[in-house]
Amino acid sequence: MSLTLFFWILVVFYSLYLLVELGLDVLNLKHIDKHKNQIPVLFRESISNEDYQKSIAYTKSKTYFHMCHLLYQTALLWLCATLSVFFIVDQWLVNLIKLPFLAGVLYPFAIGALFYLLNLPFSIYGQFVLEEKFGFNKMSAALFMSDQVKTIIISLVLGLPLIALLLWIINLAGENWWIWGFLSFMVFQLLTTALFPVLIVPIFYKFSPLPEGELKEKLTNLASRLNFKMAGVFTIDGSKRSTHSNAFFAGFGKARRIVLFDTLVKNLTTAEITSVIAHEIGHNIKKHIQQSFILSSIVMLFGFWMLSLCLKWPQFYETFHIATLSMHIGLVLFVLFASVFTFPLSPLFNAISRKNEYEADAFSIRSLNDKENMVSSLIKLSKDNLSNLTPHPWYSFFHYTHPTTLERAKAIEHLKS
């Protein structure tokens, strides 16, 4: 790599990124070991010592896996940059395709395919060794491969037109192309969000209307009482892939669906699920979704502006042994290395997310006047997912989008019903 100013900036930021990521992992591991012989008071009646030790083992295994993968990805990126892999792939495509614009559109997918294949062993290990070891994996090899193929096809169907549009805008819209590029991506994001529950999720999961009964009645009545417009309550067959539990809303306005994983319906009581859904409705009523969208839009707009500067900065290309300015190569390099510069923002955005979680918990409590089932649902989810019950405060501050179960239970306890 050329020793340009950008090279040294990249080295400094990447070193800080690795130092923070690995340092927090080590700090968290030591904190877990420090508390491994004593179950936190909140969990003592619900979680056995055997389950507690299993959650510790799972957290440590995931942490070691993350550290190894992070170091591997770092070595891979810098090796590709040093050996001019990004330039070599571009030349190979140009010689193969002969049409410069089409070669440019295909370039991000060629690099994506390369990194996908080089990271595939980690995906396989994570699913069929790590998750299997702790009883979470329910996915067969055939289903895994099917999901991979479907994901690749969807990425191509959605991604090719988007990249083609962006490169067209860069070539024709002049100095202010980044504004039009940003607007195009915003429209794309809104469309995919709207289409996600209708077209994309059913490709992977089977949607089933929640059967008539007490749970459906309670959730429907809750939504009606809170004036929450929705298209219905559905379950999906998450258990054919994993025993992890989840629930979410998908879609906009009247097209919104309450979606429950079948594992959640199986493991939680009706009252506990109602508390969880009231929490999710709280996010909508409190407009947390809109807030997150606005914040992410601001970051994306800033990102497009920074991209526009990098794409016309010769040192940016020289650092990676690219002799001439190339929009499609610059776009890929920017995406690959941007997270190294934005990682200091993570604590800020996660702090906002944790604040929203507290507010949604409070909304659930005040809507149902039910602290007990909200807390018990959190404890069950922590137990079933083998969550880390004693994360280091600095680790959770930097990485957690949700407060810990202990923090949420304490906040709920201090709420006035």
Residues 6+ apart with CB under 8 A from 390: 31, 32, 35, 40
DSSP 28-86: HHHHHHHTTTS--GGGTTTS-HHHHHHHHHHHHHHHHHHHHHHHHHHHHHHHHHHTTHH
Q: Does the annotation count 361 as an active-site position?
A: yes
DSSP 144-182: HHHHHHHHHHHHHHHHHHHHHHHHHHHHHSGGGHHHHHH
For 238, which DSSP code? Answer: G
Distance CA 51, CA 384 (A): 9
| Coil vs helix vs strand at 94 | helix
| E strand or H helix that includes residue 300 | helix 288-310
Choosing from 21, 25, 90, 280, which is the catalytic residue? Answer: 280
Task: Determine the residue type at 374.
Answer: M
Distance CA 336, CA 307 (A): 12
| Coil vs helix vs strand at 261 | strand
Cβ–Cβ under 8 Å, residues 257 and 268: no
Distance CA 250, CA 259 (A): 7
Distance CA 94, CA 266 (A): 54
Edge-to-edge strands, sheet with 207-209: 207-209, 232-236, 257-261, 247-250
Cβ–Cβ under 8 Å, residues 359 and 282: yes
- E strands present in 185-246: 207-209, 232-236
Count, residues in the chain:
417
For 184, which DSSP code? Answer: H
Choosing from 131, 357, 361, 384, which is the catalytic residue? Answer: 361
Catalytic residue set: 280, 361
